[in-house]
Every structure is written in structure tokens, then in C-alpha cells.
Structure 1
């Protein structure tokens, strides 16, 4: 009797499951069709975003990000529709509420990650600097090699690579040294007080102009007497050259050599620092025994 009762209950339960499966079957088919359609639409949308990115000459990293955002958004909509079709009790409003609460929790857990993600998108959109630019930010200086969603890779002049989180580059001041092809550089040059200031200025200016790396065709060379130094008249020498760090170092080296050579050829003195010592009381100078012997022998 008990076996017959259990068998009957099992059959009833299986029949109930079968009926439920028959009822939900059409909805499952429709949900599968919705998922397939979402996949097709997502692929099409990504292709359109990439083509538009190439047409407008957008950065490849930015194109990839926009394609990813479009794909994630379409998949969320497609999965939400599929769920509401299979489970009618799950309304779009309830699903969005649950998704919103989950997003808040995920946002608190991955605050720094999302901050870098948003900063990366804004950097790619605004393009304050490009790959290959030489930048300086927060004690990091070097050439930008790669810009990703989370961070940017900077190669320092000593060869080391620094991975900088994007929120640092977005929140702090960034000096883009290669924003233009030319950059101004300055050195100081001193001549003795006994030299003619106007003549020395002319010699220095001609020497700077003669250097190949000096772009006097674009910007004028400027030589100004700036100050009365401790032992010299100090000139501020300014010119324009390439904006890369190696351009600056090479040009400074050539200019200093050319100015030194021109002043030497003209007989203009570049003085050593002089020090004048004043004593309150007279000094007694004592001669050494060797000096006494030399004095006696003479």
C-alpha cells in the first residue's frame, strides 16, 4: 500500500514537472532567440563603433573601450529581456532595482578600479597627451608608451618603465614637454667686469646663432645682461630648439661649447669666482724657516 502511494506521488510530481516544462518551453525558445538576437546586434554594434572610430581617426584604445561599453550595455538589456520572458514574475523594475543595489555594492568594493577606469576613458576622450609624448607628473617623468583603461605606461629617461594609475594623471597637473615641436632653453654666461658689455653680448649672440640645433629661423635668439654677479656681468642666453629631452641636452652642449670658443677667440675673459676677505685686526704673517734660509742666502 505504501509502495503504491509513493509511486503515485512520484508520478504526480513528474507529471507536474512535465506540465511546467511544457508551459515554459515556448518561453525558453523565445528567450534563446532573444539571446541569439542580442549576440547578433552586439556584434553589429561593435563593428559599427570600430568603423566610426577609424573614420574619425580615434585612438584604438578608445575605440576598443567604446565597443566594449556598447557590447556590455546590449548584453545587459538582452539578458534582462530573456529573464523576464522565462520568469514572468521578474519584472524589469525588480530586475533594475536588484541590479542597482548590486552595482552600489560593487562600486564600493572596486572604487579605485572604477576611478581609474573613468579617468582612462576621459583621458582617451580629451587626449591631453599622446603616445610618444614626454610628460612629467607627480615625480614621474618620461615618454608615454601605452595608455590603457586602468593605467598608463611611462618610460623614464634612465630606461625604467613606470606604470601610473590613470586617476593620478587625471587629478594632478601634467607637464607635456613635447606638446609642440619647439621648446625654449636658457643658460647663464658671465664675463669679467672689465669687458665691454655690448661687444660681449654680440659675440655670445653670434656664437649661439651659428649652432645647427638652434632654431633661430623660427624664434630669435635672446641675450640679455641680467645681473651684477659676484665676479662677473651675468648674461641670460635664451634660444629655441627641439622639445625632446635629448634635443635640449644636445643643444645646450653645443651652445656652451660655441660660446666658450667664441669668447676665447675674442679674448673676452670668463672669470673665476673672486673672494675678498676683510679682517678686523691686522694679521701677523710669519715666514717659514725655508723662507728665512732663502732670504739669508740672497
Structure 2
């Protein structure tokens, strides 16, 4: 019975001590509560203002949200550390900082590929070498960018398939941005016969391509002869078009082929087919006629033996 009374006295003394300590901390608790409310309120106001400022310089919604969220969390952590300091819980602050550092290091090793894609996504969003709607070619994929997130670049191929490439692959490998300047050159190979007047061909092709679809009028049409082939002379017709989508390039090239064909037909210009000569005069060291005569003799002999 005496042990129970001693335990109760000890518990009451401890509770009384805690009560006195809480009473002494009431001013600090009041200050800490006000500081915590001000921290949340201030962080929210700064976040809204930062959203308005960042949106003027960056079109990446994901990057804007990331920056504002990181700033918001940082302000909350700073306010929380001040609150703990006011409550004289400095050891808790040190323990939290140490825990955050160790946790960050462990997560960095565990998710280094995700972190690499994340950092590459941030760099792409800041530098903006590519954007949504651009026609690009990278990592053996060709198509229009539909979305750029902090993890992947989504590419829609001309045939409709959606390819999601990790940002790290896009950042570390060559990227051809066909939409960067808004123009693209079309190179078209054509062949004509040796007998044609090449200067006349050059003039006809230039006239035919004057009004080709989407052509940039400020840039000249070029017709350059570049090779003698077995049965023709080859030349390239080159012209520039406005380029936003792949259909602009394909449509302009198709229109150019139609116009050149019509111009050649109207002026009796022939596009030659490849010509191959076959020599039947000898087979091995024997004349073809002797070979055929020998085959007839064998056929006749076989027929006589079958009839008998």
C-alpha cells in the first residue's frame, strides 16, 4: 500500500511539474501559434504572387507549379523551425535537419534515374529548345510534341502512335527540331533523257514550281543537274516552304511532282526508264542458235523413245 502511495505522489508531482512548465510556456505557445498562422498566410500570398510572375516568363505549367510549390514548402519549413525555436525545442530542429539530409541522400541513390529525368525536365523547361507542337526527330522517333512534363516528352508519330520518351534521353541525345524556323527545304530528284535541252528543262521546272503549295516566295527555286546515269541525266529541284506540320512538307512535295509531270507532258519531255541490255548471242562458249538446235534434237529423241 505504501508503494502505491509513493507512486501516486510521484505521478502527481510530475503532473504538477508539467503543469507549471506549460503555464510558463503559455506566452511562448501563444507567440508560436501566431507565428505559425502568419507563416501559412504569408507563404500562401507569396505563392500566388510568384505564380503570376513566373507565368510571364515560362509557358511550362509543370515547371511553374514545381517552383511555386517548392517555395511554399520552404517558407513553411522556415516558419516551423522558428516556431520550434520559440518553444525552445532546438534539439528537435537539429534532429529534423539531420533526418531530412539523410532521407534526401537515401532517396537520391534509390531514385537516381527519376531524379535525372526530373532535372533534365527542368532544364528543358527553362532553356526551351523544344516546345509543344514542334515537329522533332530524336532517338529514332519522329513526330509532334504533344506534352512536356517533368518526367517525359510525349511525341505523337505521323501514323498516330504516342511515344513517351524519358527527359534524360531527349536531353542527352541529338534532337532535330524541324519546326524551329517555321520553314523547310524540299529536295526533289528528277531524271530526263540525254537528248533533252537541259537549259530548257531548267526553265520549265522553275516555271512549274512557281505556285507550288506553301512555297516561300522570297526564296528562289533551284534546279541543279548533278549526275549522268546509265539512261538519263539526274537533277534536283529545290524550294522552300512554310512548315508547321509534316503534311505541309508531304503536300508540297506531291504538288511539285504533279506540276513537273504536267509541264513535261505538255512539252513532250520524256522521263526515261532504266534500260538494261541482255546479250543472247552466246551461252558460255556456244552460240545460242546451236544451243537451241541441240535442245530440239534432245526433245525429238525423247519423243521417239516414248512412242516406241
Normalised-by-shorter TM-score class: 0.7 to 0.9
Structure 2: tracts of 5 or more residues without a match: 297-308
**1:31 is paired with a residue of what secondary structure?**
helix
Counterpart-to-counterpart distance in 2, 1:23 and 1:98: 30
Matched, 1:226 2:230: no
Aligned counterparts, 1:207-222, within 5 A: 207-215=208-216, 217-222=217-222
1:64 positional shift: 2.1
Instruction: Give the 3 Å change call, closer, same or farther, for CA 61–2 of structure 1 in structure 2.
Output: closer
Q: Is the 8 A contact 1:190 1:233 kept in 2?
A: yes
1:234 positional shift: 0.2
Structure 1: tracts of 5 or more residues without a match: 290-298
Range moving further from structure 2, 224-233 or 91-100: 91-100
**1:104 is paired with a residue of what secondary structure?**
helix
Aligned counterparts, 1:144-293, within 5 A: 144-215=145-216, 217-243=217-243, 244-277=245-278, 281=285, 283-285=287-289, 286=292
Counterpart-to-counterpart distance in 1, 2:168 and 2:34: 41
Counterpart-to-counterpart distance in 2, 1:32 and 1:117: 36
1:123 positional shift: 1.1
Counterpart-to-counterpart distance in 2, 1:19 and 1:41: 33
Counterpart-to-counterpart distance in 2, 1:282 and 1:269: 39
**1:144 is paired with a residue of what secondary structure?**
strand
1:197 positional shift: 1.5
- In the alignment, what sits opposite 1:9? 10
Counterpart-to-counterpart distance in 1, 2:137 and 2:261: 32
**1:209 is paired with a residue of what secondary structure?**
coil
- In the alignment, what sits opposite 2:125? 124
Counterpart-to-counterpart distance in 2, 1:261 and 1:175: 35
Matched, 1:102 2:103: yes
Q: Is the 8 A contact 2:154 2:163 kept in 1?
A: yes
Range moving further from structure 2, 53-62 or 40-49: 53-62
TM-superposition CA deviations, 1:10-54 (whole Å, max 9, x none) = 212322332333344443333332322221121121122122134
Aligned counterparts, 1:44-83, within 5 A: 44-56=45-57, 58-83=59-84
Q: Is the 8 A contact 2:84 2:90 kept in 1?
A: no
Counterpart-to-counterpart distance in 1, 2:163 and 2:148: 12
- Compare CA radii of gyration and give the structure with the larger one: 2
Report the TM-score, using the length of structure 1 for normalisation. Answer: 0.87
**Aligned residue pairs, count:** 288
Report the TM-score, using the length of structure 2 for normalisation. Answer: 0.84
Counterpart-to-counterpart distance in 2, 1:55 and 1:213: 33
Counterpart-to-counterpart distance in 2, 1:105 and 1:48: 34
1:93 positional shift: 6.0
1:85 positional shift: 3.0
Counterpart-to-counterpart distance in 1, 2:105 and 2:187: 53
1:131 positional shift: 1.3
